[in-house]
Amino acid sequence: MTLPHPRTGQVFESPVPPGAGWPGDPADAATPAAAGPADVVAVAASADLDALQAASSVCRACPRLVAWREEVAVTKRRAYLGEPYWGRPVPSFGDPDARVLVVGLAPGAHGANRTGRLFTGDRSGDWITAALHRAGLATSPTSTDGADGLRLVGARMVAPVRCVPPDNVPTTAERHTCAPWLRRELELLRGVRSLLALGGIGWAASLAAARDAGWVVPRPAPRFGHGATATLTRPDGVAVTLVGCYHVSQQNTSTGRLTAAMLDDAVATAVLAAGPLA
């Protein structure tokens, strides 16, 4: 069954086939899909940024996550029964010349797994997009779908696990399997000067990816905390500041564990560390 995209009206299957015309789809029907961890390592190692976006968006290396993302794309949430769901890995979103890289956790089941764009279409996306807009890093305070015109300026978002996991909890093996995509992204994003890690998993994934990419990471490993910072050093000697922030999950924002002021402070720390964005 095909259903219309909520903004463009173009009809799609759910999950969306690569190259079908979905807004922001970086892949086409010929993009090869990684079938296991070794494929992810091999494809990521030599990819440029466009190839990385395309290849990661069709990856099938984690059987449990492939099954879950596609099941969610069929069963859906009641409010979105009339829409197609992306149902594929969600690639990074934002400025290829970013100085601030936001490192989250994984796509939301009915947010990014539905819209195909990171932090888009759910409450978590509302929070981080509004904060980036207040900081001058997003052209709009809202993030609705992949055709809404939102752009990030000087900032980019990435998920260390690109497929939605059951209960939002990826296994250790799944985190390791997905890690080469993030490692390669760190190598390619030469302008990045700060990493804003949302939650402990984003923090740990940032440290691991930096280590894998040959960056100097302090020992013992810096501990995650809201407002915590650490200095990482790239192989070319450039310093990159890692900033910790509680995740913008609905659980954290609805309980007040993370307030808008706290989020703004963390974003401001990352922006200050990144230096001039223009």
Q: How many residues does the chain have?
A: 278
Chain-centre distance for alpha carbon 90: 7
The smaller minimum CB distance to ligand SF4, of residues 59 and 273, is found at 59
Residue 4: which H helix or E strand, with range?
Answer: strand 3-4
Min CB(108)–ligand SF4 separation in Å: 14
Tell which one of 53, 115, 124, 177 touches ligand SF4 (CB under 6 A): 177
Tell which one of 89, 94, 107, 108 touches ligand SF4 (CB under 6 A): 89
Query: Contact at 8 Å (CB) between 100 and 153?
Result: no
Query: Contact at 8 Å (CB) between 22 and 146?
Result: yes
Chain position carrying tokens 């001058």? 136
Tell which one of 5, 114, 162, 247 touches ligand SF4 (CB under 6 A): 162
Min CB(66)–ligand SF4 separation in Å: 6
Q: 234 is written with which tokens?
A: 């790239």
Query: Contact at 8 Å (CB) between 205 and 180?
Result: no
The smaller minimum CB distance to ligand SF4, of residues 126 and 185, is found at 185
Per CB under 6 A, does 163 bind ligand SF4?
A: yes
Chain position carrying tokens 């997009």? 129
Tell which one of 27, 44, 47, 62 touches ligand SF4 (CB under 6 A): 62
Per CB under 6 A, does 27 bind ligand SF4?
A: no
Residues contributing to the site for ligand SF4 (CB under 6 A):
40, 56, 59-62, 65-66, 89, 161-163, 174, 177-178
